[in-house]
Structure 1
Amino acid sequence: MRYAETLPPPELDGLVEAVWTLDVAASGWVDHQAVPDGCIELIRRHSGGSVWRREQPELFVTGLALRPAVLRFRGDARFTGIRLWPWAWHLLDGEPCRDFADRWRAIQPRAPLAALLPDDGDPMPRLAALFHGTVPPPLAAIRHAASVAELAHITGLSTRQLQRICARETGMPPRSYLRLLRFRTAVSDIQRPDALLADTAAAAGYADQAHMTREFRSLGGLPPRRARDRAKGPFI
């Protein structure tokens, strides 16, 4: 598997998390497990085949993942994906996150979203043009907050306001969404060659390594030590 990410330019910070490419590069059909990352994914499959519960079309969008998802890829499958923060998805008039969590929806070839994922070329310039001048909403600060109290301090919003906004944008309470972001950070950090599990747990905001292990089993389906050996980007 060859997986790569391109981070967005500063003007897209807080709207686009990354543009990624995946080349399965295997023989036959293979299984991979994707884990929650707190984002909405717009995906184009350039070749091959893919199955998540049922066969997927060439263009589709995946909702917020709340648990690990077992994906089947044909060995010649290649993809390009755009990882959006939920509030950016709603700026594109996407359906409420709560309505398709742990699911995917087809994107029609003539739909405006399809134009963001050309069959060749980099989607980033199109994203920059689409979001030109767009200021991320206050909830975007949740990416840098360790707790709801810290988020309230950063944004100047009350806990009740944050609960209402987060429910609208993510379909869950702020504490639950922070849990996904904490796990996302840990999955990324354990992939560093020099990563120590205890240090990763502390840096991600877990109470201790045992707490992180429980979360990896719950959200990733396996303990962090095994995840470290297998992980490539959001795949374990």
Structure 2
Amino acid sequence: MYRERGTSLAGAVLWESISSGTGPVRVLPDGCLDLLWSSRRGLLVAGPDRTAHLSTSAAGERWVGLRLPPGVGPAVFGVPADELRDRRVPLVDLWGPVGVGVEDRAAGGRGVTAVLAEVVRDRLRAAGGPDPLGAHLAARLAVGRPVGAVAAEVGLGDRALHRRCRHLFGYGPKTLARILRMRRALALARAGTPLAEVAARAGYADQAHLTRDVRELAGVPPGVLLRDRPRAAAR
């Protein structure tokens, strides 16, 4: 079982799942950080992945997650995104006694969705909101704008842009652009667009380039992903 819905935080997604325990679930990279609660493991922070993460859960394990928009995580968790890259970290390891208090509020799972939303809202308010550069960069790269053109738009040199992207998203702008292009391509393919046309519309040199890039990022070719029901599942 997997379901998701929007929240009052623009761009954030609240999702829930109950594991069947039948095997690992492939979670694709997206440049986002998640605040997670597991009925078995408690509260975790899922950092941004560079390649697909294979998540394993016990049968019946319940997950609730709040997926933050790209670039918002550092303002919530108080650490640069690249410190959490490819990691799943207990919240108490980041926040100490504050994390223990949040863990106690979420214990048992009753009302956990409200706890996650309230914690994120309070942390963002205390931080003065997310860095607006994050949303701008993610939006421009998501529609296929070249990295150099985006850097010129925001008035940053290559090195400065790379540093800001690592802080906000966990990796540099070229990696983020590749990940967002893959997700754009998969959305087109799931809507019924033939893969050759997907490649052209998403900015790949050809269908072979699309297949090669998806395999590197997701671990499997597009055809395998398209046969699977898309979901975020336990990160």
The offset of 1:76, in angstroms, is 0.8
Q: Write out per-residue CA displacement over residues 21-67 of structure 1, whole angstroms, 9 at most, x where no aligned residue.
A: 2222x3x5422121211111211013xx5xxxxxxx22111211112
In terms of mean alpha carbon deviation, does 110-119 or 168-177 score higher? 110-119
Structure 1 gaps, min length 5: 50-56
TM-score, scaled relative to structure 1: 0.76
CA distance in 2, matches of 1:127, 1:136: 15
Structure 2 gaps, min length 5: none
CA distance in 1, matches of 2:167, 2:227: 37
Residue 31 of structure 2: which of 30, 34, 38 is its match? 38
TM-score, scaled relative to structure 2: 0.77
Give the match for residue 143 of structure 1: 138
Percent identity, aligned pairs only?
A: 27
Number of residue pairs matched by the alignment: 218
SS at match of 2:160: helix
2:29 maps to amino acid: P
SS at match of 1:82: strand
In terms of mean alpha carbon deviation, does 217-226 or 183-192 score higher? 183-192
In terms of mean alpha carbon deviation, does 158-167 or 213-222 score higher? 158-167
Kindly tell me: are residues 100 and 130 of structure 1, through their superposed partners in 2, closer, same or farther at Cα, counting changes over 3 Å? Answer: closer
Contact 1:216 1:223 in 2 (8 A): yes
1:17 maps to amino acid: A
Contact 1:35 1:220 in 2 (8 A): yes
Q: How does 1:1-236 map to 2 (within 5 A)?
A: 2-9=1-8, 12-13=9-10, 16-24=11-19, 26=20, 28-46=21-39, 49=40, 57-85=41-69, 87-108=71-92, 111-112=98-99, 115=102, 118=106, 119=109, 120=111, 121-122=113-114, 123-124=116-117, 127-128=120-121, 130-132=123-125, 134=129, 136-145=131-140, 146=144, 147-192=146-191, 194-234=192-232
In terms of mean alpha carbon deviation, does 85-94 or 213-222 score higher? 85-94
Kindly tell me: are residues 131 and 197 of structure 1, through their superposed partners in 2, closer, same or farther at Cα, counting changes over 3 Å? Answer: same
CA distance in 2, matches of 1:170, 1:129: 21
Q: Name the one with the larger helix percent.
A: 2
1:100 maps to amino acid: L
Kindly tell me: are residues 214 and 231 of structure 1, through their superposed partners in 2, closer, same or farther at Cα, counting changes over 3 Å? Answer: farther
CA distance in 1, matches of 2:35, 2:47: 9
SS at match of 1:65: coil
| Over 6 Å off, 4+ runs | none
The offset of 1:202, in angstroms, is 3.4
